[in-house]
Amino acid sequence: MRAFCTIIALLALAAPAHAADLRVGLKSSVRQLIVGPDGGAWAHVSATRSSRVVRITPQGAQRSTRTSAYVGGGLGPDGRAWLLDGPDLLRIDGNGLATRTPVAAGYDELVTAPDGTAWVFDGENGARLAADGTAQPLDLAIPGCPKAYPHGLTRAADGAIWFYASHCGFVRVPPGGTPTVVANPDEAGTILAPDAHGGIWFSVHIGPGGGHVDTSGRVTLLKRPGHLGTRDVAVAPDGSAYYATGQCFLTRAAADGRVSRHPIAVPATLVDFDAAGGLWLATPSRVRHTTLDAPAAGCDDTPPTVRIVPDPAKPVSLAALRRQGGFKLTVGEPFQVEAYVFDGPGDYSFGHVYTSVTARGGRTVRMALDVDELRDLARQRDEPLALVGTVRDREGNEGGFEHELRLKP
């Protein structure tokens, strides 16, 4: 859902453009931000062996709550963050005080409904969830859509619940009414944000990156060139939609789909607004509470580069791999890397490396491989194996690589 936006730490709207700028480091990642009615926020921060939700008050105070199996959540009917954490409904108030209530496990989507409950979904199965953990089945038979798997849930300005249903399109459920497929464009909405008139804006990970759907089903796509999509969308108090792109600008969309660039100080992948018009921006590595008119100088959206030896863009010598014990990956700045060899037809990966390097100048890490296993597997496959990976820097910029491996003795 929309309130199921983005990430952590920020401080209240203050005279300086940003009262606080939270960095979580290379070993953690900001995954979600829920903005509260008081202008504060709750942020989900994930790490390899731990996870937590941080409450940030409007004054900038922070309080963390550990989670065990967090999958998602949103703003609950009581103004708290309602979070689905394994077998529990975890509710956290504005002071950061947490309450756990057992619920049926498996729900992974949540939106506050007009009836004072939260609608939750587990695949195609939905329920009305109360604060005491009581769940009542939610019957959402959608004409012409026998198997709907809702995601991107949001509550529109008129109280209707919207979501995108796989293979069906955008679904609108009016208060007390029958669900209907409003529109089914080629673009599948990933994040939905309500406008002021009962419709929604949506983001898509491929170009043109999203658009708008009104209550009549009229779809207006962004007039945005290129094949790259957007990462998140939020609606400002003036009704304009702002899209996060992972670059040093937001894409501002007008009602007719025309777009313009709005410079920002961090390469945001998450965006939201508080009730006072303050702007929340987040990358996987940091969060900033700012304003639309704040200075944007100093932003860095250049992904890190990685040098791989032996060079996988050329035929790779098994002898060279054996001598150095696998591939060597070098990055010249602090970074986090995840890489592995992937066998597509067998849906099998091996040689996995996942690590962080905080040294100022970066360094070289080794991706250990059983070279004999690699050789034998390559001989058994008609399709080549692939070396796949991602690298992230301290600003949250990510670079990816994928190489078909051509092996030689």
Mean pLDDT by groups of 10 residues along the chain of 409 residues:
38 39 88 91 88 86 89 93 92 94 84 92 87 88 86 95 92 92 87 97 93 96 91 94 98 96 96 92 90 94 97 96 96 97 82 94 96 89 90 96 94
- Under a CB-based contact definition with an 8 Å cutoff, are residues 371 and 385 in contact? no
| Last-in-domain residue among 259, 290, 321 | 290
Cα distance between residue 79 and residue 253, in whole Å = 29
Q: What is the DSSP string of 249-317?
A: EEEEE-TTSBEEEEE-SS--SEEEE-TTS-EEEE-SSEEEEE-TTS--TT---PPP--EEES-TTSPEE
Same domain, 115 and 34: yes
- Do 193 and 265 share a domain, yes or no? yes
The answer to the question of residue 404 being in a domain is yes
Is 295 a domain residue? no
Q: Are residues 320 and 401 in the same domain?
A: yes
Same-domain pairing of 73 and 171: yes
Domain co-membership, 230 together with 189: yes
Q: Which of 235, 265, 290 is the last residue of a domain?
A: 290
Tell me, yes or no, whether 321 and 399 share the same domain.
Answer: yes
Same domain flag for 49 and 89 = yes
Are 370 and 336 members of one domain? yes
pLDDT recorded at residue 188: 82
- Backbone phi, psi, residue 379, to 5°: -70, -25
Q: Give the pLDDT confidence score for residue 12 in this predicted structure.
A: 33
Q: Which of 260, 290, 320 is the last residue of a domain?
A: 290
296 within domain boundaries? no
pLDDT, position 207: 87
d(C-alpha 248, C-alpha 31), whole Å: 19
Same domain, 200 and 242: yes
Range of the domain at 260: 2-290
* Whether residue 360 is found in the same domain as residue 232: no
Paired tokens of 372 = 């004999």
Q: What is the number of structural domains in the chain?
A: 2
Same structural domain, 113 and 203: yes
Residue 346 and residue 275 share a domain: no
